[in-house]
A and B are shown apart, each in its own frame.
Chain A
Amino acid sequence: MTVTTAAPRPRVSRGPALAHSPVLRLVVKRLLMAIPILLGVTALAFWVLSLIPGNAAQQLLGPEATPEQVHQLEQQLGLDKPGIVRYLDWLKGAVHGDFGKSLVSGQPVSELLPGRLAVTGELVFLAFFVSLAVAIPVALLAARRPNGVVDRLSMMIGTAGLSVANYVLALVLVLIFAVGLGWLPAIGYEPLSSGLWANLKTMILPSAAIGIPLFCFYGRFLRSDLVDQMQGEDYITTAQAKGLGPWQVLVRHAFRNSSFGLITVVGLNLGTLIGGTVIIEQIFALPGLGQLLLQSINTRDFVVVLAAVVIFAVVAVLANLIVDLLYAVLDPRIRYGSH
């Protein structure tokens, strides 16, 4: 790491040390680097959309429309301008915080997205929350006695759960809890405003379909990490030698260290997870971001697609950044920015 401070001076407060910390510089550097990534992602999305035959005007008017009608609407929507001009126009607006209006509904994207984002956000949050809340105690129990009954059982369930496609799981859950038992609705969405239980009833099956494979993944990861810590690390021996009970060593020492690894995996997973909600929203007819993205691609509504792509990309970039940061923070042998 290159040190920028020239004059050696005593470090009294933590402030200056933090300002010169490599971690902070990494954050700033990576946030600056996110700009070209976002540019690349939106440009790629725009280019890819222009490859699909047909535009929003044709899709809106349907196959019966005359070429004149299509041409008129194209002019109205500004689709007659060359692609690069349209992209730059969009970019200019986006930089100023104006993501434009939907070509299909005419609604401003800033009004269209928050509701959708809330649905997808709730779905992801529930799936995350439930999977972690179950995975952590199960992994601790399993790591307490490696190769014991709990460990074997959770390993088996975990391996099976990891191999199930979430759309298959969704259908199985519908078959059992909606068709068979009739406890929960098979499809549909109720907003939070119509009551917490009404809302949760429509969200349980979709978030379970996403959360169960996640639970298996996190549980297995944490379990093997814990076992590694317990068997190979000196600080565990120290803690045991101090006379701490097995649970205290496991929870207060091993789990503390393993939790960093878990956070890393969770962060890396976030991008793929949000992408995975598309199909679940489709199966359960949830009005989320994924469904909007799918519809907008079908109607060639590039304004909405670009906005959705930006959101997906920002989440993925941030998750990536946090993971890289954690690597640097946790493992001093890995240094960024110096060679």
Chain B
Amino acid sequence: MAVIDTPLGVSEHPGVEHEEAVRPSRWRGKLGVWIPAGLVVLIVAACFLAPLVFDLPKPIGGDVLDSYLPTGSPGHPLGTDGNGNDTLSRVLYGGRASLLIAVTVNLLGLLVGGTLGALSGQIGGAVDTTIMRLLDVLIAFPSLVLTLAVAQAPGPSMRNTILALAFFSIPAFARVARAAVLRLRSLPFMAAAELCGTPRWRVLFRHLAPNIAPQVITFGMLGMGIVIIIEGALSFLGLGVPRPNPSWGNMIADGQQSLSATPGLVLWPSLALLITVLSFNLLGENLRVRWSGR
């Protein structure tokens, strides 16, 4: 938005036409959003509906006699793990945990961090400095220490994992929202709203929020991928979703021990992780391209 600050508001860069040139054609832009969106829906449906519709073996409490069955065994299309649990079922149930955690963490980050950052940017001055420096402490803090503590103090659980991860998504969302608000602050419509005597909360929710929504939501989509990966990392270190309940992270970590003998145990959850994160990233990226083109 270089246009705004030039004297007399004269545009130096009629950038719109240029952007038009690099933008993919209309149907390709649409496909770029709809294909990953469809994949996300498919993954969510597979994790949450498939176990209800199809008669899958339970993800835990398998028979040890069935351990390490290869891929393609009767009744176990992706084989079984060391405890005889069905891998397909564990991948689907593990996906539930990953998706639930990612959605909750990002919603918390979006609501708390987004509001905080937007407010901070809107008010400015000492309030802004205070909020941002407090968030700097969280950003500078090695997240592992906090997550380990939160996970160890009352024992690992999904709720504790969500809380620990939310602590780190809040400053990230706050930064994105604040940067977006700062860019808007000098625009004429802000001055107009102020001149009309619009109350601050109304400016925030009715004027700023819709304008920064594209940036914040795009960041949220990328954040979904990030949180799914970090949750996996936590489970990898023995935190996160407590065993024997499956999560993609702890499945990968467990499979690591027999990596050369049964690579499938690492491969399937890794593939699920990759496709899910890829879909969210593509969705976020293509939404960004579409929205910024407008």
- Interface of A with B (CB < 8 Å)? 33, 36-38, 40-41, 44-45, 48-49, 51-53, 146, 159-160, 162-165, 167-168, 171-172, 174-175, 179, 227, 231-234, 271, 275, 278-279, 282-283, 290, 293-294, 297, 305, 308-309, 312-313, 316-317, 320, 333-334, 339
Contact = CB atoms under 8 A, between A and B. Distances in A.
Contacts of A312: 140-142
A47 to B, nearest CB: 9
B19 A232 contact: yes
Contact of B144 (A38, A165, A275, A320): A275
Contact of A37 (B18, B133, B263, B273): B133
Contact of B149 (A40, A51, A283): A51
Nearest to A296: B145
A48 B13 contact: no
B219 interface: no
B142 A293 contact: yes
Chain B interface helix/strand/loop/mixed? helix
Given A45-B145, A297-B149, A320-B139, 17 more contacts: A53-B153, A159-B281, A159-B285, A164-B274, A164-B277, A165-B229, A165-B270, A165-B274, A165-B277, A171-B270, A172-B270, A233-B13, A234-B13, A283-B256, A294-B148, A313-B141, A316-B140
B250 to A, nearest CB: 12
Contact of B256 (A51, A171, A308, A316): A171
A164 B133 CA distance: 32
16 contacts: A41-B141, A44-B137, A52-B152, A146-B22, A159-B281, A163-B274, A163-B278, A164-B277, A171-B252, A171-B270, A232-B15, A279-B233, A294-B144, A297-B149, A317-B136, A333-B5
Nearest to B143: A275
A312 B139 CA distance: 10
A225 B282 CA distance: 18
Nearest to B261: A179
A158 to B, nearest CB: 10
Given A313-B140, A313-B142, A165 B233 contact: yes
A141 to B, nearest CB: 17
A146 B22 CA distance: 8
A283 B255 CA distance: 13
Contacts of A165: 229, 232-233, 270, 273-274, 277
Contacts of B229: 165
Contacts of B150: 48
A168 B274 contact: yes
Interface string B132-171: 0110110111111110111011000000000000000000
B100 interface: no
Contacts of B145: 45, 48-49, 293, 297, 305, 309
B53 interface: no
Nearest to A318: B140
B68 interface: no
Interface string B235-258: 011000000000000001000100
Given A159-B282, A165-B233, A175 B136 contact: no
Contacts of B281: 159, 162-163
Contacts of B124: 339
Contacts of B134: 40
A37 B21 contact: no
Contact of B148 (A231, A282, A283, A297): A297
A317 B140 contact: yes
B277 A44 contact: no
B113 interface: no
A285 to B, nearest CB: 12
Q: Among the interface residues B13, B141, B145, B259, which one has the most CB atoms of the partner chain A within 10 A?
A: B145
Interface in B1-26: 5, 12-13, 15, 18-19, 21-22
B73 interface: no
A163 B259 contact: no
Contacts of B15: 232
B105 to A, nearest CB: 16
Contacts of A309: 141-142, 145
A51 B21 CA distance: 57
Contacts of A227: 22
A44 B136 CA distance: 13
Contacts of A48: 145-146, 149-150
Nearest to B222: A162
Contacts of A146: 22
Contacts of B5: 333
B225 interface: yes
Contacts of A234: 12-13
Nearest to B253: A167
A114 to B, nearest CB: 19
A45 B233 contact: no
Nearest to B24: A147
B153 A320 contact: no
A279 B236 contact: yes
Contacts of B199: none
A172 B266 CA distance: 9
A163 B22 contact: no
Nearest to A160: B278
